[in-house]
Protein backbone atom coordinates (compact mmCIF):
# COMPACT_ATOMS: atom_id res chain seq x y z
CA UNK A 1 0.00 0.00 0.00
CA UNK A 2 2.69 2.44 1.07
CA UNK A 3 4.84 1.36 -1.84
CA UNK A 4 2.16 1.99 -4.46
CA UNK A 5 1.33 5.26 -2.75
CA UNK A 6 4.97 6.32 -2.94
CA UNK A 7 5.35 5.21 -6.54
CA UNK A 8 2.59 7.65 -7.48
CA UNK A 9 4.88 10.44 -6.36
CA UNK A 10 7.91 8.93 -8.03
CA UNK A 11 6.22 8.69 -11.40
CA UNK A 12 7.01 11.34 -13.95
CA UNK A 13 7.10 11.81 -17.68
CA UNK A 14 10.12 10.60 -19.58
CA UNK A 15 11.76 13.81 -20.89
CA UNK A 16 12.36 12.13 -24.26
CA UNK A 17 9.04 10.47 -25.08
CA UNK A 18 6.59 11.75 -22.44
CA UNK A 19 5.65 8.25 -21.30
CA UNK A 20 5.13 7.72 -17.57
CA UNK A 21 8.19 6.28 -15.87
CA UNK A 22 9.68 5.91 -12.40
CA UNK A 23 13.17 6.54 -13.72
CA UNK A 24 14.84 9.66 -15.08
CA UNK A 25 14.55 8.22 -18.59
CA UNK A 26 12.15 5.38 -19.50
CA UNK A 27 13.48 1.89 -20.23
CA UNK A 28 12.72 2.10 -23.92
CA UNK A 29 14.55 5.41 -24.47
CA UNK A 30 17.42 4.20 -22.30
CA UNK A 31 17.79 1.17 -24.54
CA UNK A 32 17.85 3.37 -27.63
CA UNK A 33 20.45 5.67 -26.03
CA UNK A 34 22.66 2.71 -25.18
CA UNK A 35 22.44 1.48 -28.78
CA UNK A 36 24.53 4.60 -29.64
CA UNK A 37 27.35 3.56 -27.28
CA UNK A 38 30.66 2.79 -29.02
CA UNK A 39 32.05 -0.70 -28.64
CA UNK A 40 35.48 0.86 -28.27
CA UNK A 41 35.15 4.06 -26.26
CA UNK A 42 38.93 4.60 -26.42
CA UNK A 43 39.15 4.50 -30.22
CA UNK A 44 40.12 8.20 -30.41
CA UNK A 45 42.51 8.04 -27.44
CA UNK A 46 45.56 9.10 -29.44
CA UNK A 47 46.96 12.15 -31.22
CA UNK A 48 47.76 15.50 -29.76
CA UNK A 49 44.55 15.62 -27.75
CA UNK A 50 43.32 12.13 -26.81
CA UNK A 51 39.53 11.85 -26.77
CA UNK A 52 37.56 9.36 -24.71
CA UNK A 53 33.98 9.31 -25.93
CA UNK A 54 30.98 7.27 -24.88
CA UNK A 55 28.84 7.30 -28.01
CA UNK A 56 27.69 8.58 -31.34
CA UNK A 57 25.92 11.97 -31.43
CA UNK A 58 22.79 10.58 -33.11
CA UNK A 59 19.22 9.53 -32.39
CA UNK A 60 18.11 9.33 -28.77
CA UNK A 61 21.55 10.20 -27.41
CA UNK A 62 21.43 13.47 -29.34
CA UNK A 63 17.89 14.06 -28.08
CA UNK A 64 18.95 13.37 -24.48
CA UNK A 65 21.76 15.95 -24.69
CA UNK A 66 19.29 18.49 -26.11
CA UNK A 67 16.90 17.74 -23.24
CA UNK A 68 19.71 18.35 -20.75
CA UNK A 69 20.89 21.61 -22.30
CA UNK A 70 17.92 23.26 -23.91
CA UNK A 71 14.98 21.87 -21.94
CA UNK A 72 17.02 22.20 -18.77
CA UNK A 73 16.68 18.63 -17.54
CA UNK A 74 19.63 19.07 -15.20
CA UNK A 75 18.87 15.71 -13.54
CA UNK A 76 20.19 13.92 -16.66
CA UNK A 77 23.69 15.39 -16.39
CA UNK A 78 25.04 13.33 -13.48
CA UNK A 79 23.62 10.13 -14.93
CA UNK A 80 25.41 10.80 -18.23
CA UNK A 81 28.67 11.37 -16.35
CA UNK A 82 28.21 8.03 -14.64
CA UNK A 83 27.84 6.25 -18.00
CA UNK A 84 31.10 7.76 -19.27
CA UNK A 85 32.88 6.88 -16.02
CA UNK A 86 31.75 3.25 -16.08
CA UNK A 87 33.19 2.89 -19.59
CA UNK A 88 36.33 4.77 -18.50
CA UNK A 89 36.98 2.39 -15.59
CA UNK A 90 36.69 -0.56 -17.94
CA UNK A 91 39.27 0.74 -20.38
CA UNK A 92 41.46 3.63 -19.21
CA UNK A 93 41.30 3.83 -15.42
CA UNK A 94 44.14 5.86 -13.87
CA UNK A 95 45.33 6.33 -10.33
CA UNK A 96 45.15 10.06 -9.94
CA UNK A 97 43.42 12.64 -12.10
CA UNK A 98 41.68 15.96 -11.71
CA UNK A 99 38.47 16.62 -13.62
CA UNK A 100 37.99 20.04 -15.17
CA UNK A 101 34.67 20.66 -16.92
CA UNK A 102 34.78 22.94 -19.98
CA UNK A 103 33.19 26.13 -18.68
CA UNK A 104 30.43 28.12 -20.33
CA UNK A 105 30.31 31.90 -20.27
CA UNK A 106 28.79 33.58 -17.19
CA UNK A 107 25.96 34.99 -19.30
CA UNK A 108 25.01 31.54 -20.63
CA UNK A 109 25.32 30.10 -17.14
CA UNK A 110 22.84 32.68 -15.94
CA UNK A 111 20.38 31.84 -18.71
CA UNK A 112 20.66 28.04 -18.40
CA UNK A 113 21.11 27.89 -14.66
CA UNK A 114 23.86 25.25 -14.82
CA UNK A 115 26.89 24.17 -16.80
CA UNK A 116 26.08 20.77 -18.32
CA UNK A 117 29.77 19.81 -18.43
CA UNK A 118 30.01 20.39 -14.67
CA UNK A 119 27.03 18.11 -14.00
CA UNK A 120 28.56 15.42 -16.20
CA UNK A 121 31.87 15.82 -14.34
CA UNK A 122 30.00 15.39 -11.06
CA UNK A 123 28.57 12.04 -12.18
CA UNK A 124 32.01 11.00 -13.48
CA UNK A 125 33.53 11.89 -10.13
CA UNK A 126 30.92 9.90 -8.18
CA UNK A 127 31.94 6.72 -10.00
CA UNK A 128 35.72 7.24 -10.26
CA UNK A 129 36.46 9.23 -7.11
CA UNK A 130 38.49 11.80 -9.10
CA UNK A 131 38.12 15.31 -7.64
CA UNK A 132 36.51 18.07 -9.74
CA UNK A 133 37.88 21.57 -10.01
CA UNK A 134 35.08 23.49 -11.68
CA UNK A 135 36.70 26.90 -11.09
CA UNK A 136 39.99 25.99 -12.75
CA UNK A 137 39.06 27.37 -16.17
CA UNK A 138 37.05 30.47 -16.88
CA UNK A 139 35.30 31.26 -20.14
CA UNK A 140 36.39 34.82 -20.53
CA UNK A 141 34.83 35.48 -23.90
CA UNK A 142 31.24 35.18 -25.01
CA UNK A 143 31.53 33.15 -28.20
CA UNK A 144 29.16 33.01 -31.16
CA UNK A 145 27.17 29.90 -32.01
CA UNK A 146 29.71 27.62 -33.63
CA UNK A 147 27.51 25.78 -36.12
CA UNK A 148 27.18 28.85 -38.32
CA UNK A 149 30.93 29.34 -38.65
CA UNK A 150 33.56 28.03 -41.03
CA UNK A 151 36.58 26.24 -39.45
CA UNK A 152 38.87 29.27 -39.68
CA UNK A 153 36.17 31.48 -38.16
CA UNK A 154 35.68 28.98 -35.32
CA UNK A 155 39.34 29.25 -34.38
CA UNK A 156 39.16 33.03 -34.52
CA UNK A 157 35.96 33.00 -32.48
CA UNK A 158 37.51 30.90 -29.72
CA UNK A 159 40.93 32.50 -29.57
CA UNK A 160 41.75 33.28 -25.94
CA UNK A 161 38.25 32.27 -24.92
CA UNK A 162 39.60 30.76 -21.69
CA UNK A 163 41.67 31.94 -18.79
CA UNK A 164 42.97 30.27 -15.66
CA UNK A 165 40.85 30.48 -12.54
CA UNK A 166 41.41 28.71 -9.23
CA UNK A 167 43.35 25.46 -9.35
CA UNK A 168 44.84 23.34 -6.58
CA UNK A 169 47.29 20.47 -7.14
CA UNK A 170 48.49 21.89 -10.43
CA UNK A 171 50.98 19.01 -10.85
CA UNK A 172 48.26 16.35 -11.18
CA UNK A 173 47.13 15.25 -14.62
CA UNK A 174 43.92 16.82 -15.85
CA UNK A 175 41.07 15.15 -17.71
CA UNK A 176 38.75 17.67 -19.34
CA UNK A 177 35.03 16.91 -19.41
CA UNK A 178 32.41 18.12 -21.87
CA UNK A 179 29.08 16.97 -23.31
CA UNK A 180 29.93 16.88 -27.03
CA UNK A 181 33.10 16.81 -29.09
CA UNK A 182 32.67 18.17 -32.62
CA UNK A 183 35.63 19.83 -34.32
CA UNK A 184 37.70 19.92 -31.14
CA UNK A 185 38.36 23.65 -31.47
CA UNK A 186 36.92 24.42 -28.02
CA UNK A 187 38.81 21.58 -26.34
CA UNK A 188 42.11 22.52 -27.98
CA UNK A 189 41.75 26.13 -26.91
CA UNK A 190 41.11 25.00 -23.31
CA UNK A 191 44.15 22.71 -23.41
CA UNK A 192 46.31 25.50 -24.80
CA UNK A 193 45.33 27.72 -21.89
CA UNK A 194 46.06 25.04 -19.26
CA UNK A 195 49.36 23.97 -20.83
CA UNK A 196 50.55 27.54 -21.10
CA UNK A 197 50.28 27.54 -17.29
CA UNK A 198 52.24 24.25 -17.14
CA UNK A 199 49.20 22.22 -16.15
CA UNK A 200 49.40 18.71 -17.63
CA UNK A 201 46.33 17.63 -19.60
CA UNK A 202 46.04 13.98 -20.62
CA UNK A 203 42.88 14.29 -22.72
CA UNK A 204 39.17 14.98 -22.81
CA UNK A 205 36.20 12.76 -22.03
CA UNK A 206 32.80 13.50 -23.54
CA UNK A 207 29.43 11.82 -23.80
CA UNK A 208 29.10 12.06 -27.57
CA UNK A 209 30.89 12.99 -30.77
CA UNK A 210 30.08 13.76 -34.39
CA UNK A 211 33.46 12.23 -35.34
CA UNK A 212 33.21 9.25 -37.64
CA UNK A 213 35.04 6.04 -36.90
ZN1 LIG B 1 11.16 7.61 -22.99
Instruction: Write the pLDDT tens digit of every residue in 72-111.
Output: 999 999 999 999 999 999 998 888 999 999 999 999 999 9
Please state the pTM of the whole predicted model: 0.91
Distance 30 CA to ligand 1 centre (A): 7
Q: Which CATH number does the domain 40-209 belong to among 2.60.60, 2.60.120, 3.40.50, 1.10.3470?
A: 3.40.50
175 CB-near residues (< 8 Å, 6+ apart): 52, 97, 98, 99, 100, 130, 201, 202, 203, 204, 205
| Segments making up each domain of the chain, as ranges | 40-209
Backbone angles phi, psi at 71, to 5 degrees: -105, 10
Distance 23 CA to ligand 1 centre (A): 10
Distance 82 CA to ligand 1 centre (A): 19
Amino acid sequence: MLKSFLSLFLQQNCPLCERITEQKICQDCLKQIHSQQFKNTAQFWSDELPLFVWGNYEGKLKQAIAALKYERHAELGEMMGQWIAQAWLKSLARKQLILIPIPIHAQKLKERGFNQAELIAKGFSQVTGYPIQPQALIRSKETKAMYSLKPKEREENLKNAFKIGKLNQSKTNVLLIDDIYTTGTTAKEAVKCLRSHHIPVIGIATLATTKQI
